[in-house]
Structure 1
Amino acid sequence: MLQLVRFQVFFPTKDERAHYSGFSHSKPRARLIFELDDSSERELKIPVRVGRQLVEEGLELPQELEAGFQELYALETKVALQMIGEMLSRRDYATQEIRQKLCGYGFRDTEIERSIERAVELGFLNDIRFASFFIESRKRQGLGQLKIELELRRRGISIEDIPGYPEVFFSQEDDYERAYSLLRKKSIPSLRAYEKLLRFLISKGFSYALAKDIVGRYLNEQDTEHEDLI
Structure 2
Amino acid sequence: SGSESPAVAELCQNTPETFLEASKLLLTYADNILRNPNDEKYRSIRIGNTAFSTRLLPVRGAVECLFEMGFEEGETHLIFPKKASVEQLQKIRDLIAIERSSRLDGSNKSHKVKSSQQPAASTQLPTTPSSNPSGLNQHTRNHQGQSSDPPSASTVTADSAILEVLQSNIQHVLVYENPALQEKALACIPVQELKRKSQEKLSRARKLDKDIITLRNFWKQDVDGVASGPIVLHCAAEL
Whose strand fraction is larger, Structure 1's or Structure 2's?
1
Query: TM-score normalised to the size of structure 1?
Result: 0.22
**Highest Rg: 1 or 2?**
2
More contact order relative to length (CA 8 Å, sep ≥ 6)? 2
Whose helix fraction is larger, Structure 1's or Structure 2's?
2
Query: TM-score normalised to the size of structure 2?
Result: 0.22
